[in-house]
Amino acid sequence: MKKENRELSLEQREELLQTLKVRFEKNMERHKGLEWDDVQAKLEANPEKLWSLNEMEGTGGEPDVVGYDEKTGEYMFYDCSAESPKGRRSVCYDREAWNQEKSTNQKIAL
């Protein structure tokens, strides 16, 4: 089995870091007491984390720093988009339950 390439190009890294920086600066209430330079240094030292954040960004998410774990020394990111990105909505693995919920919602809406 071929291992998936989980590295971003230099251009992709720079673009993602710029996007994350802008979001960080725009939403300071989410990460009071944290400094962007510290977050960026940690991300640059862990390219696999950048890859994951890029995947989240690529599906319409808005990853942002929401905290720092003193024990592990890791920054915590959450998807802070206002609503679930379109490509991630209505995921149901139980077709029968989905159909039941759909019919219940239609009855309520009437």
pLDDT tens-digit profile, the chain (110 residues)? 445 678 899 999 999 999 999 999 999 999 999 999 999 999 999 999 999 999 999 888 899 999 999 999 999 999 998 877 666 655 555 667 656 655 544 333 33
Hey, which residues does 77 pair with through a beta bridge? 65
Per-residue model confidence (pLDDT) at position 93 = 58
- The string over 34-61, giving b where at least 16 C-beta atoms fall within 10 Å of a residue's C-beta and e elsewhere, is bebeebeeebeeeeeebbebbebbeeeb
